[in-house]
């Protein structure tokens, strides 16, 4: 996740505008380690979902028996998308796997429309709140062979993962841009644990003018403990 210096997770209607090219490079690099990259439908509706890794590192994935790019997973309880969303790259690119996970709440005609666009659809039982159960999503992905799942947002899904204690680590880029919009969503949009994040690493991107961006990597603190997270330093 990326945020402005004053905490906005969206700037000018998008998240792409917040980070520098170095940040964009780094998150493509993070994807190299992922089997699947998870998004909320809000990010697909507002931005787009294109999951490509760095060409120079794709060979590493191929040697490990993985496809060059991870699979993009979009969760939506409704599976309802406008014509404008169907025009986005997610529905047209074929260089990464594309899956939509939805609930029985979705209308069969909406599911059929997504399938007709060439995107696989899985229907999983909804959680108690009627949304996609993120725990069920992770079990489903594990059953299909995924070992590392990266979530790239948006804030609603990141917060839902945090509240369900399904986050192992949190990567946050803090840019030196200012947003000034108190109504803009933050990386975390609702109450979560009050335990401090546990630092793993912190890097500064500096130019001759000084610091431009800071990249934090944290272990996400869990009330119930965690049996699945990877040791610090291992990616």
Ligand X SMILES: NC(=O)c1ccc[n+]([C@@H]2O[C@H](COP(=O)([O-])OP(=O)(O)OC[C@H]3O[C@@H](n4cnc5c(N)ncnc54)[C@H](OP(=O)(O)O)[C@@H]3O)[C@@H](O)[C@H]2O)c1
What is the contact surface with ligand X in residues (CB under 6 A)? 1-3, 9-10, 14-15, 39-43, 46-47, 75-78, 127, 131-132, 134, 152-157, 160, 185
Q: Give the nearer residue to ligand X in terms of CB position, either 132 or 149.
A: 132
In order, the DSSP letters of 185-227 are: --SS-S----SPPEEEEEEEEEETTEEEEEEEEEEPP-SS--S
Q: Give the nearer residue to ligand X in terms of CB position, either 66 or 90.
A: 90
Q: From the CB of 161, what's the least distance to ligand X, in Å?
A: 8
Q: Give the nearer residue to ligand X in terms of CB position, either 58 or 156.
A: 156
Tell me how far CA of residue 9 lies from CA of 4, 5, 76, 199, in angstroms. 7, 10, 20, 21
Q: From the CB of 208, what's the least distance to ligand X, in Å?
A: 27
Q: How many other C-beta atoms are found inside a 10 Å radius of the C-beta of residue 134?
A: 22
Instruction: Give the bridge partners for 172, in sequence order.
Output: 216
The phi-psi region of residue 8 (left if phi > 0; otherwise alpha if psi is between -120 and 50; otherwise beta) is: beta
Q: Give the nearer residue to ligand X in terms of CB position, either 41 or 66.
A: 41
Q: From the CB of 55, what's the least distance to ligand X, in Å?
A: 23
Q: From the CB of 17, what's the least distance to ligand X, in Å?
A: 9
Burial of 88 (0-12, 13-18, 19+ CB in 10 A): middle
Q: Give the nearer residue to ligand X in terms of CB position, either 66 or 215.
A: 215
Tell me how far CA of residue 117 lies from CA of 113, 121, 152, in angstroms. 6, 11, 23
Q: From the CB of 107, what's the least distance to ligand X, in Å?
A: 12
């Amino acid at each position: 996740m990326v945020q402005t210096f004053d905490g906005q997770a969206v700037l000018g209607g998008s998240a792409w505008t917040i980070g520098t090219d170095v940040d964009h490079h780094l998150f493509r690099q993070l994807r190299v380690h992922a089997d699947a990259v998870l998004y909320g439908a809000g990010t697909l509706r507002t931005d787009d979902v294109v999951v490509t890794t760095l060409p120079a590192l794709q060979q590493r994935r191929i040697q490990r028996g993985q496809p060059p790019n991870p699979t993009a997973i979009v969760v939506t309880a409704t599976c309802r998308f406008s014509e404008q969303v169907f025009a986005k790259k997610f529905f047209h690119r074929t260089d990464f796997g594309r899956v939509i996970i939805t609930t029985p709440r979705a209308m069969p005609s909406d599911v059929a429309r997504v399938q007709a666009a060439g995107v696989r659809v899985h229907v999983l039982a909804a959680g108690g709140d009627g949304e996609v159960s993120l725990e069920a999503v992770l079990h489903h992905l594990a059953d299909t062979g995924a070992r590392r799942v990266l979530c790239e947002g948006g804030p609603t899904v990141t917060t839902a993962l945090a509240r369900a204690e399904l986050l192992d680590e949190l990567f946050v880029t803090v840019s030196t841009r200012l947003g000034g919009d108190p109504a803009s969503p933050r990386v975390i949009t609702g109450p979560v644990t009050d335990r401090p994040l546990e630092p793993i690493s912190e890097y500064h991107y500096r130019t001759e003018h000084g610091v431009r961006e800071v990249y934090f990597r944290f272990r996400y603190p869990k009330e119930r403990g965690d049996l699945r997270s990877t040791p610090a330093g291992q990616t």
